[in-house]
Amino acid sequence: MTLLKKKIYIAGHRGMVGRAIQRVLEAKGYNTIIGRSSEELDLRNQAEVNAFFELEKPEIVIDAAARVGGILANNNYPYTFLMENLQIQNNLIEAAHQHQVEKFIFLGSSCIYPKLATQPLKEAYLLTAALEPTNEWYAIAKISGVKACEAIRKQFNKDFVSLMPTNLYGTHDNFDLQTSHVLPAMIRKFHEAKSNNHSEVLLWGSGTPMREFLFVDDMAEAVLFAMENKLDEHLYNVGSGTDLTIKEFALLIQKIVGHQGQIIWDSTKPDGTPRKLMDVTKLRTLGWKPKIDLATGIQITYDWFLENVNQIKGVKM
């Protein structure tokens, strides 16, 4: 059977990353993709997950399902972020193992690496020092998933691979100011301030930390690459390979949105990790590389935000 005919299950297919993966796979001719909403299948429930695998018998599984959020959400709900992510990934990994899934792709996050690790972050830095405290609960869950996939490769010689993306953004992002990541939060803040006579925008921290961003469709292309190729190692970073300060980033978003007011930096709020740049040498050497630059990606994301602003809860027009 050719790969195009394989039955592919995308866990988290309604999230930003899952939607992008489905878009990219369908564009390449994959048409036996299955997904279940959280209402249809509770991935925290082991019995439900096992019954689903027994019924559908997926041959390839892509785990893009997770409880995610920014600094505020991670700080306020540490147990939820730790436990729900452990439940989701453990149930999927074990079901994939028990039901003889041919390939399992686990998606994590760059926050698995130590807070003060040498830059750029290499895969070898995993578990070499302390994590960033503001999101260690999520990070610990994701590290457990990486190690579970590594253990299955080691003990059972199965094709389980982990991809660690940098900060992702794009269409279908979460623009809720309480739970969103930095890019969609900034788009919304600048848009609302622009609509309010270009009023000032208050941003957390000093603006000095450096961050790397990757458009979600580029991440989806990396998943496709991992799916179509047998990768020799268990862990690969996925990123743009370039970063900029949060202040530079804010000015770029401000320009694209068209906000002309003042930016106020609240230095009493946490900055998070000082720098978080991924070393993407391993995956690039194999042939994958991103295609969409940051300015283009932000413009696409803002255009999508404008088209869907009526469906985004609480946006002030």
Q: How far apart are CA 212 and CA 207, in angstroms?
A: 14
Q: Is 138 a known active-site residue?
A: yes
Query: And the tokens for 237?
Result: 């970073």
Distances from the Cα of 65 to the Cα of 35, 68, 117, 165, angstroms:
11, 9, 27, 14
pTM listed for this prediction: 0.92
- 136, 140, 141, 143 alpha-carbon torsion, rounded to 10°: 130
Binding site residues for substrate, as ranges? 189, 204, 211, 271
pLDDT at position 180 is: 79
Choosing from 113, 138, 169, 236, which is the catalytic residue? Answer: 138
Binding site residues for NADP(+), as ranges? 12-18, 107-110, 142, 165-168, 181
Q: How far apart are CA 44 and CA 33, in angstroms?
A: 21
* Peptide bond between residue 120 and the one before it cis (omega within 30 degrees of 0): yes
Q: E strands within the chain?
A: 8-11, 33-34, 60-63, 103-107, 159-165, 167-169, 201-204, 210-211, 213-215, 235-238, 244-245, 263-266, 275-276
CB 212 within 8 A of CB 276: yes
For the chain, list the domains and their CATH numbers.
Answer: 3-173+213-241+277-292 (3.40.50.720)
Q: What is the mean pLDDT of each run of 10 residues along the chain (317 residues)?
A: 89 96 96 94 97 98 88 84 97 98 96 92 97 90 98 98 96 86 93 96 94 97 97 97 96 98 93 87 97 97 95 72
> Coil, strand, or helix at residue 237?
strand
pLDDT at position 317 is: 59
List, in sequence order, every residue forming a beta bridge with 264; answer none if it has no partner: 202
